[in-house]
Structure formats: structure tokens, C-alpha cells
Structure 1
Amino acid sequence: MTKIEKFHRPKVVVIGGGTGLPVILKGLRNKNVDITAVVTVADDGGSSGVLRNYINVVPPGDIRNVLVSMSDMPELTLDIFQYRFDSSDSFFAGHAIGNLIIAALAEMKSGVFEAVQELSKMMKVKGHVYPAANEPLVLNAEFFDGTVISGESEITSAHSKIKRVWVTPSNAEDGHQASAVAEVIEAIMDADQIVIGPGSLFTSILPNLMINNVGQAVCETQAEVIYICNIMTQLGETDAMTDADHVRILNQHLGRDFVNTILVNTKEVPEDYMDYHKWNELSKQVVHDFNGLREQNVRVISNDFLRLEDNGAFHDSKMVVSELMNRLHAASGILK
């Protein structure tokens, strides 16, 4: 790995989706780093799914949350952007205002990538927010029983063991493959650090890496690739999987051992604290397999990364970001 030159502002690319990505971005945004968030576009549930079905727009929900996490706009303005209608109107019910704005701008700018760049300026975003692709993608999964299902929400609700996933354009009649725009690939290749996760392994993280040129760039970049392992297993996705299994799945999907470092939480989640009814997608705490990680030549950083909140288990943004900065410091010898 190349050393980060003196006075160089480190470039950190964070790849993922779901609720985990904004947590890390909030912690990074006040550090002296150049942040790029690469956000999944394969979601088909909730408000995002409805908008996608109406106007075939890239699902905006994950993008909306990332924009808010990196924005310098006043809190009230961000609250309005995040506001979700609770009226009984057959169209507006359940939609977040920000989703509607992103969908409108995507139509105005003839694509979500340019729309997000325009919105980033309006929202005073610190860094860059790049949709993983400029078109909506369909997530496909093959299960160990041979069943094949398409659609992120359908895959999640199947509650069956996933063998592999891949993505296809939602309008693939012309036979073209999913690909990321040049800016995404350039960011990955120029990065000093690539952060993957935390997030749902098969439905938030791998959809990005299964875009051919994204996966290739992550394998070829000189940056350190760091995987933030989930604290809890996810029902129907990663049941009974260890942290080494997570890395093994990632490596198998890209055909090589590309994960350099993993962050794993070692603090035990109190069994009587978790509300499994409220967080019904969670199952049990991820089991550690340090020998399995070493066999894959992965550097292990273990610490108390646990944040208990609202009867759920989450990553402590401050602790995670501190370790990410330590890795940049180790690469440069000069960063604080």
C-alpha cells in the first residue's frame, strides 16, 4: 500500500446502504478527510419501492439518508427533508419529502447521478454522494435449495439461506450490464481507504460490489479495504454466520481475497436488553472466528464498538471512526 503523502487530505470511500452507512458518515464528516459515499440503488421496498414502480426512478431512500448525514443545513430544514407523510392520501401516505424531491430532480436532470450532485450543492453536503449506478437495479438471489428470487424485499422476506446474489438493470431488454459512472470508479481508485458497511451483507453491501466495474475497482485499488462487520446476525440473511463467514462471502463473490481489515465488536449485547419484536430482522450476536479471519489474511481490529439505544444494538460511530482514523494514521505516519 502506498504511503499517504504529507499534507495530503486523505480520501475515504464508504460503500453500502441501509441504516448503517449514515452512522459512519456522520462520524467522518467532521474529520479532516475527503469523503465519498457510494450508495446502493437496488432497494425496492417502502416509499422507495413505490416511487420506483411509478416512475422507474433509482430508489431514493438510502440516498436521502446519506445526504442528510453529510449535510450542513439547519436541523429544521433537514427534519422537513426527512418528514414522512402520515395522511391517508393514497399516494402521499408513507412518502418522505426528500424522496419526492430526489425523484423530481432525477426527472429534471435526466438521471439520478446529476440530480444528487445538484442536491448535494443545495444541501451543503460535506463530501460527495454517488449513487452506485445511474439507473435502478434489480437484486437477484440464488438460495441453497436452488430457488431463485428477484427483488430486495422478496429476498429478505424469503427467510432462506442465500448462496449468491447478483444485480441486473431493471430495464435489461437491450442486454446491457449494470455499471457505475466514471466518478464512482475514479473515487475508488484514488482512495486512501475503502470502508464497506456496516449493513445487510446480501441486500445492502453486495449489491454495490456486484456492479462489475465497482467490484473490479475495489479489488484493484491500492487503498486499504476495511469491512465493518455487523454486530448482530440478520434473520433470513446471515443466520449463524461468523465474522469470518461474512468475509468469506464477500471474497467469494468477487473471486479473490480483497478485504484487508475487519472491525469486529467484542462487547457482549445484554440478552435482556434487546427487543427482538421491535427489531425483528435481528437474530443473535455475530460469533467471532479469529482463526477463520487469519486464514483469509485479514487484519483484525477488535474493540467495544457497541452502542445500546432504543432496545437495539448499533455501532458506536465515535469508536468506529477513531479506528478508521488510526488506520489512516498508520498508513501515513503523520495524520492526527
Structure 2
Amino acid sequence: MNKELKVCTIGGGTAMPIINKGLIKAGFLNIKSIVTTFDSGGDTGRIRTDERGKVLAFSDYWRSLMSLWPDGNQKQIWEDMLRYRDGRGRNFGNTFFQFLSEKEGNLGEVDELFESLTGARLAGEVIPVSLKPANLFFTTISGKEYKGENFVDDLRMSKDVIDKMWLEPLVEANPKAKEILKNADLIIVAPGTTYGSVLPNFLPKGIIESFNKSKAKKIMFVNIFAMANEIKKATVLSYWEIFKKYLKTDKPFDMLVMADLEKLDKKMLKKILFYYGLENSSLVKMDKINGVKLLKVDLAKIEEANMRLRHSEEKLGEFFSKLEIG
């Protein structure tokens, strides 16, 4: 794939950084990474509560920013430091980026200050999807209503599937995020918690219009597993229908990419499937969707320490190097 393409990634959580690292391994050095800013769980939630909801969530921002810093000793030291938690569970990374955001006036201006402080040479930049704080609200098929992104994860084993999600207040999208979508050659929607890390990026006012009007090729990486509260039927087609609904278009993506698990160790895979089953999570099954290219590629790896399947940045690097999007 042409390394001069204007590449934009969209997402959050732990999966977005893996996509960014895969792109860097493939030689892309000017990645524009749009991230959600509505997280409300853990230490991020504590900060937002302490600040009366008047600050953005920093966690997805700084994790994506660190993923754009090519590997090296200096990066590792900073990564360890930013992940540090004290005895009360307070995360240094969130506190540090809260300080940088206040110093610069908004989170969207932090990249350059971070580079000057650390000596990092980032392979792109991170763009908050909105510069205004807001809360995620959602209802489930039983009619229950929840306030806060943290409940998406807290209820991940519930079969009371999420039915509708929105922002309050309905904030404007970051103008820079809209401009980047407009000018991109390739837009990659990362895997991740559908209602926690991915779809929230499409809720601010104006972002859907910019995404749909973009002439870029659009690729979505399908999750390996579906959480119980995300979807009734764990199929690619079910996810396709969700994104059609929220992005308000019949064809939100030109290509869907699934992880092929055939080359993984069968004995370990069986164990991992058992543990996911205990969480009511289901392996996403492949469908055919008319007019959409669907690739099934060896992209996954086994993390034995926590019995999880993840996308592999090394395999993603190989995939992006060979991908043709013309």
C-alpha cells in the first residue's frame, strides 16, 4: 500500500493503539487518529466526577498518542510511567494529560507540547472527536436507561442488548476531526467495544456527515468476539446493520476485515473459547454482504497470561504492507 496515503484511524480503548502500531510497522508515519473522549470508567470517571463533568476523558487520547511513538527505550520508560497507579488507583497518565490539556487550553493542542517535553517523534497525531465534554446515554431492549460509558462495560455479560445510544449534551464534533475525514484517502475503523469505543466517535454533531461525504476508502476491522450486551446474533451482518443505523447510510464501509483463527494453537483456542463463553461472549461468524469486500486474514494472537485473543500488531503490519485499496 502506498505509504503516502492520508490515513485516518477511528476508535478508542486498547484495540485502536494496536491498529496504529500495525500501520507504523507497515511504514506509515503520518497517521491521523480520531479518538472518543466520553469514557467514564475507572480513574477517568473519578476525574470527570471530581471536575463536575467539565473535562474530557483523557485515557483513550494518551493511549493512542503513545501508540504513535515508535518503539524504543525512551518510549518504554514513559509508557511505564504513564500507566503507573498509586495506592488509591489514580493513574498518572490521566493526571499528566489533564495538566497538559489545561496548560494548552484544550486537549487538541497537546501533541506538540508532549513531543517537546519527551523528545518523542510521533508518527502522526491524535485528534479528540470533540473538544466539549458530554456523557453517553443508552437504553436497552428491556427499556432500561443508563448514563455513562462505564455501564457498557459493567453490563457486558448481560443479554439485555443495547438498543439506542446518544450524547447529552449533543456536542459539536471537533472541526479538525471533520477536516481530516474530508481529506483522508483511507479511513480505518478499529475493532473494540462497539458501544464504548467505536460508535461514540460518530455521535458528535457533524461527524457522520463528514464521514459519509469523504471520498476515502473505508475499512472496518470486525471484532473477534461480540459481548453479550452488544448484539443479539454474533455475525458480521449484525454489526453491519448497527453501523448502517448509526452512520445513516446503506454502505458505511467498502471493506470489512475479520481475523482468521485457523492458524492458532487449537488446544489453547479451545480453552480461550471456554473462558469467553463464561462471559457470555460469542465468536463473530462470517456472512456475505452484497457489494462489500470481506477479507478473512490471519491477524490474531493468543495472550496466554489473561486467556484472551487480540489482534497482532506484527500481523497487521504485514497486512497493511500488502493491502491494495485502489
Quick check: TM above 0.5? yes
Whether 1:25 aligns to 2:20 is yes
Change (3 A) 1:122 1:185: farther
Counterpart position of 1:90: none
Change (3 A) 1:137 1:220: same
Counterpart position of 1:152: 149
Q: Distance in 2 between matches of 1:264 and 1:155?
A: 23
Counterpart position of 1:238: 231
Greater mean alpha carbon deviation, residues 126-135 or residues 112-121: 112-121
Whether 1:211 aligns to 2:204 is yes
Does the CA-based 8 Å contact 1:26-1:70 persist in structure 2? yes
Greater mean alpha carbon deviation, residues 308-317 or residues 13-22: 308-317
1:217-262 Cα distance to aligned partner (Å, 9 max, x none): 1111011110000101113223532111111100111211221110
**Structure 2 unmatched runs, 5+:** none
1:19-38 Cα distance to aligned partner (Å, 9 max, x none): 10011111212413420111
Could you tell me which amino acid in structure 2 is paired with residue 273 of structure 1?
I
**Structure 1 unmatched runs, 5+:** 88-92, 170-176, 332-336
1:225 to 198, 218, 228: 218
User: TM-score by structure 1 length?
Assistant: 0.84
State the SS of the aligned residue for 1:227: strand
State the SS of the aligned residue for 2:219: strand
Two-structure CA RMSD over aligned residues (Å): 2.3
Q: Percent identity at matched positions?
A: 24
Structure with the greater relative contact order (CA < 8 A, sep ≥ 6): 1 or 2? 2
State the SS of the aligned residue for 2:295: strand
Could you tell me which amino acid in structure 2 is paired with residue 80 of structure 1?
M
Change (3 A) 1:121 1:228: farther
1:60-79 Cα distance to aligned partner (Å, 9 max, x none): 11112112211244321321
Does the CA-based 8 Å contact 1:102-1:116 persist in structure 2? no
State the SS of the aligned residue for 2:176: helix
1:39-72 Cα distance to aligned partner (Å, 9 max, x none): 1111100011111111232111111211221124
Could you tell me which amino acid in structure 2 is paired with residue 308 of structure 1?
I
1:312 to 294, 305, 308: 308
1:247 to 240, 256, 274: 240
Q: How many residues align?
A: 307
Q: Distance in 1 between matches of 2:303 and 2:295?
A: 23
Counterpart position of 2:270: 271
Change (3 A) 1:280 1:183: farther
Q: Distance in 2 between matches of 1:15 and 1:302?
A: 21
Does the CA-based 8 Å contact 2:132-2:172 persist in structure 1? no
Aligned pairs (5 A) from 1:69-80:
69-72=67-70, 73-80=74-81
Aligned pairs (5 A) from 1:113-262:
113-123=108-118, 124=120, 125-158=122-155, 159=158, 160-169=160-169, 177-238=170-231, 240-256=233-249, 257-262=251-256
Q: Distance in 2 between matches of 1:228 and 1:325?
A: 16
Deviation at 1:8, TM superposition (A): 7.5
Deviation at 1:323, TM superposition (A): 3.0
Deviation at 1:275, TM superposition (A): 6.8
Counterpart position of 1:51: 47
